Amino acid sequence: MNKLNIYYCPNCKNVGIAYGKAQIECCGRKIEPVAIEKENTIPTITEMDGEYLLEYACPMTKDDFIVAIVVERYDRVGLIRLFPEQAAEARVAQVKGAKIYTVFCRQGKVWAELMK
Ligand SMILES: [Zn+2]
């Protein structure tokens, strides 16, 4: 399968997902995929009713917040949007082999971290 790419428009805060080399444009501009790094920000993970509750130590201000959590499964991709002033947490299904990407925005820099 092609590599998953995550796109973020700094203008309208839109988040997109595409596989392989896609030409993504938003607000009249071409958008490059965000860098995907190894996990650096480790959430607290709590098992709950067949789901994981992920809680991050993130201030969730407009200069330092989590944009989205992307869950890539063998058969589907889920996108959970988060916004400044919200709690830095999300619930995801417990699925073996799922890859979880957390997309951060800090002082305008946007990147994703792939959970181990
Ligand atoms: Zn846009």
**Residue ranges of domains in the chain:** 4-114
Q: Residue 21: what pLDDT?
A: 84
* 33 close to 23: Cβ distance less than 8 angstroms: no
pLDDT confidence of residue 110:
97
What pLDDT score was predicted for residue 55? 98
Check whether 116 has a pLDDT greater than 90.
no
3-state SS assignment for residue 40: coil
**Dist. CA 33 → ligand 1 center (Å):** 14
pLDDT of residue 1: 62
| pLDDT tens by residue, 5-56 | 999 999 999 999 999 888 999 999 999 999 999 999 999 999 999 899 999 9
pLDDT at 2 (0 to 100): 81
Residue 36 in 3-state DSSP?
strand
Which residues in 14-114 belong to E strands, given as ranges?
15-19, 25-26, 29-30, 35-38, 44-48, 51-55, 64-72, 77-81, 89-93, 99-106, 109-114
Cα(114) to centroid(ligand 1), Å: 24
Q: How far is the CA of 63 from the centre of ligand 1 (A)?
A: 18
Is 74:97 a contact under the CB 8 Å cutoff?
A: yes
Question: How confident is the model over 68-115, as pLDDT tens digits?
Answer: 999 999 889 999 999 999 999 999 999 889 999 999 999 999 999 999
Assigned superfamily of 4-114? SOR catalytic domain (2.60.40.730)
